Structure 1
């Protein structure tokens, strides 16, 4: 098997590395950030995603690091129950915990941090390091995120659009609050639409909370921890007491303010010997809750065809053919969920779970 360079040591890149490890395929990962910057917040992973994770992570270890959510409950912002639905093996886990689990099978000698990789303009299909050194690899698997620099350079005509939704995401360590919410996925909605607050229990003493804003109505920008805390309490101070309690007891030093972008249209998933996976191939807006699962499936299916096919282009083509229809379904579902989010509650479809299913 040929040498492979993996660009990006996030969820998709590490998932790819784990699948390559299973088949003893030679690879090296390049990550532009520092190792300590690879933490983050958290994910919802539906059953299908767990099935792919179980192939590369011990299920018992995985279960210890996260929490199964048993029920989705939709509330008005004051706490009136609007809808309830049982969940089938939907798992919540912090990004930090999942990164650690995926990295445990990867030798540190196979990952280079603080190294930016770019295409070489003079040699089609080759990548180079920031110092100009050409990477010795026959295949490059790109997993450098939704705003992929390499994708932008290879597909210069791409258009990234700002989605009409921004998010603030944080994790709070508080055993009393965590125990009070049991194992439910709770989401509070303002009656006028365009403003929600979600709560996911990650463990016995930690929960992830996230707020979603219609960014045409609300200005959510990067700012100091103190100013952001003040802003959040101003917006959500009159909501259900659980929401305001969480916001008051949160530490805002590591809060994540996220502006969401999507591609106007999908590009091919590969070009010459360079192939894209995860968000680098197909950014999905967060309403789908399918980012991790899609990355895992990309890694699994791409590895499958790299093993089965002698011709790289044939392997890439089969990977794209198999994955693109499902991704287009998630993109369609994500946009539909976004449109629902923007509507007043009285106009929204009832019992919508914020997870896209194919």
Structure 2
């Protein structure tokens, strides 16, 4: 008989994990708390070669690039002078694919389509509330009173994981970092042609980055420092206007184009950035966490989705070579943890540099950023060049 898996969460990791497990003879069902029509995930993300190389086995990347911006970045100082460029063209040759930015909603949509086309069932409006293990089975309970049982359960339910909360209540609380990842979409006449790169300017009081998609839409992003963690009703109602007003004032002495983009945005994005606590274990019994549920990462180097996709490869490989799921989970964590923590550390470092605005730091940055970017390209190889070979046959 086929082994069965319950997957909680239908972001990108859940459907791709289900497809990986199908290859090794698992039957999976995916349970998603949101409704099927809820595709309002406003954010976009930079998607790097390590994630793209996992994804391309199941999804035609050309479809994802129907609405995207490039991944290359040109850096400018507050006077509008270009001080450096981080080109991604070399990646195509080195890794077979090249970083680009795409909307999270599109990424999730195509992952779900791929899973559905492979006969994997995705249930919507299924808010996971708790689980129970008995008789060599794990049973998930949902808020609507329904249940599902299988051999194992994998939590792919992201930063705010309820599976993590149920597994490790005492350490599950996430920490607000006082930064809010902000951005938006705008249409303005003078920026209607696609750009060859993201333009990132270190303005007088903060950075501003934007690009123009192949559909002529301006995608911009920024960070907003906010001492007080926003309450859910603020995120819903007032935070976006607060951010719009604040950023317009931060950039009032920078290129007037920035304020024009901010003021003319038809959609504003605001995601408070949290740190997920370091967990001693990513698994317990028949339940395992992957992706942001296990090792959430701040978005400064765009690795959340790619690390989750790497996880899907590794956990499927280990479940294939180890009949005992708990051994597979244990080895999964021991193989992934060091890499993941190193990436998280890199992301924090990048996050810290984005908020520096004192004149001396700015002077050094303007002069040395080109040198650091050259070094950065070599240093990023360990992230982008990832491939999994089941190196130890354990």
Q: TM-score range by the shorter chain?
A: 0.7 to 0.9
Q: What RMSD over aligned residues (CA atoms) do the two structures have, in Å?
A: 2.9
The range that moved more, 213-222 or 223-232, is: 213-222
The range that moved more, 240-249 or 228-237, is: 228-237
Q: Would you say the 8 A contact 1:38–1:96 is kept in 2? A: yes
Q: How far apart are 1:11 and its partner, in Å?
A: 1.6
Q: What does 1:333-348 correspond to in 2, within 5 Å?
A: 333-344=346-357, 345-346=362-363, 348=365
Q: Would you say the 8 A contact 1:163–1:260 is kept in 2? A: yes
Q: Which residue of 1 aligns with 2:66?
A: 64
1:54-91 CA distance string (max 9 Å, x none): 1111233333343443x311223452323222123211
Q: Which residue of 1 aligns with 2:51?
A: 49
Q: Identify the match of residue 213 of structure 2 among 192, 195, 202.
A: 202
Could you say what secondary structure the match of 1:261 adopts? strand
Distance in 1, Cα, partners of 2:212 & 2:115: 28
- Answering whether residue 101 of structure 2 is matched by residue 92 of structure 1, we say yes
Q: 1:330 to 1:109 in 2, by over 3 A?
A: closer
Distance in 2, Cα, partners of 1:28 & 1:260: 30
Distance in 2, Cα, partners of 1:168 & 1:157: 30
Distance in 1, Cα, partners of 2:83 & 2:45: 24
Q: Would you say the 8 A contact 1:8–1:144 is kept in 2? A: yes
Q: 1:321 to 1:219 in 2, by over 3 A?
A: closer
Q: How far apart are 1:219 and its partner, in Å?
A: 8.7
Q: Identify the match of residue 102 of structure 1 among 91, 111, 115.
A: 111
- Answering whether residue 249 of structure 2 is matched by residue 247 of structure 1, we say no
Q: Which residue of 2 aligns with 1:152?
A: 165
Q: Which residue of 2 aligns with 1:171?
A: 185
Q: Would you say the 8 A contact 1:176–1:205 is kept in 2? A: no
Q: How far apart are 1:137 and its partner, in Å?
A: 1.3
1:85-117 CA distance string (max 9 Å, x none): 212321111112212211212228711111111
Flag structure 1 segments of 5+ consecutive residues without an equivalent: none
Distance in 1, Cα, partners of 2:78 & 2:140: 50
- Answering whether residue 363 of structure 2 is matched by residue 350 of structure 1, we say no
Q: Which residue of 2 aligns with 1:15?
A: 16
Distance in 1, Cα, partners of 2:26 & 2:217: 38
Q: Would you say the 8 A contact 1:143–1:279 is kept in 2? A: yes
Q: What does 1:248-263 correspond to in 2, within 5 Å?
A: 248-252=263-267, 255-263=268-276
Distance in 1, Cα, partners of 2:16 & 2:120: 17
Distance in 2, Cα, partners of 1:79 & 1:162: 33
Q: Which residue of 1 aligns with 2:200?
A: 187
Distance in 1, Cα, partners of 2:347 & 2:57: 27
Q: How far apart are 1:133 and its partner, in Å?
A: 4.0
Distance in 2, Cα, partners of 1:109 & 1:331: 32
- Answering whether residue 125 of structure 2 is matched by residue 118 of structure 1, we say no
* Count of matched residue pairs: 352
Could you say what secondary structure the match of 1:251 adopts? strand
Could you say what secondary structure the match of 2:369 adopts? coil
Q: Would you say the 8 A contact 1:175–1:204 is kept in 2? A: no
TM-score normalised by L of structure 2: 0.80
Could you say what secondary structure the match of 1:28 adopts? strand
Q: 1:326 to 1:170 in 2, by over 3 A?
A: same
Q: How far apart are 1:266 and its partner, in Å?
A: 3.1
The range that moved more, 331-340 or 270-279, is: 331-340
Q: How far apart are 1:136 and its partner, in Å?
A: 1.3
Q: How far apart are 1:336 and its partner, in Å?
A: 1.3
TM-score normalised by L of structure 1: 0.87
Distance in 1, Cα, partners of 2:150 & 2:189: 48
